[in-house]
Amino acid sequence: MHTPVELDRDFDQFIHKLRLKTGIDLALYKENQMKRRINSLKEKKGFKTFVEFFQGMLQKQDLYFEFLDHMTINVSEFYRNPNRWEVLEKRILPELQAKRNGRIKCWSAACSTGEEPYSLVMALSSFMSLREIQVLATDIDQNAINRAKSGKYLAQSVKDLPKSHFNKYFSIKGSSYEVSDEIKQCVQFQRQNLLADPFAQNFDLIVCRNVLIYFTEEAKDSLYMKFSKSLAKGGYLFIGGTEQIFHPQQYHLEPVDTFFYRKI
């Protein structure tokens, strides 16, 4: 039986080893929440300590990918919170298109299994040709990115998708629904650690939803500043329904609608 001090030391060593090996700093995530999630997987896989679990991940890449899946909570849907997407389509995108002369630079950060960037392409398709649309989509979890590239989803994921988009851009393959190749071609997927990797610049729209709730206040502060620096002046940050920026002015942002902030 390990003492509480030994258990804390074990988890601290796990955090240290993981950061050195992968660049993922779990110290920037809310500790109790993250520790519980990782512990449940550790026990399920039969490891007694976090350090043993780390060694297991070094030996088996599949276990490492499963850990990332477990850690990042890949839950997403097309047009999640549909009324927010309506604001995007009716207010934000028309304004950006008018300002940017039809070229809108977009990034779906922490894109999970792809529902969000594909939703963004469909929203943009109401204003411009698919040939003109290119969305950057990034996530820390390569397994999630691989699933996103396949473009195959279950009924739950598409339940809030506007019927016009569903009829135009999806085909039914057995029990799954597949996004058309013309939509897939508009998205460029890349692996990225938001907390450690540099961001590209001059985006007109950054979508990062229901991710920052898992980070410490210090990490959130850093990310909001990085997002702000990545936006072009007048560009928008679209965050999730469980999130709110309490002092947006310190990041050179102003609220313009629920969950939408503009770079000033």
Choices 3.50.50.60, 1.10.8.60, 3.40.50.720, 3.40.50.150: CATH for 82-263: 3.40.50.150
Phi-psi category of residue 82: left, alpha or beta, with phi > 0 → left and psi -120 to 50 → alpha: alpha
- Of the two residues 87 and 31, the one the predictor is more confident about is 87
State pLDDT tens for residues 155-189.
Answer: 989 999 999 999 999 999 888 999 999 999 999 99
In the chain, what are the domain boundaries?
4-72, 82-263
State pLDDT tens for residues 56-110.
Answer: 999 998 898 888 877 766 567 899 999 999 999 999 999 999 888 768 999 999 9
Q: What is the C-alpha to C-alpha distance for residues 74 and 153, in angstroms, rounded to an integer?
A: 13
Residue 50 in tokens:
């976090």
Mean pLDDT, the chain, rounded, equals 90
Average pLDDT over residues 186-202: 95
Residues whose CB falls within 8 Å of the CB of residue 137, separated by 6 or more in sequence, listed in order: 107, 108, 111, 114, 116, 117, 145, 148, 187, 188, 189, 190
Return the minimum-mean-pLDDT range out of 9-13, 45-49, 71-75, 259-263.
71-75
- Of the two residues 33 and 112, the one the predictor is more confident about is 112
Beta-bridge partners for 178:
152, 171
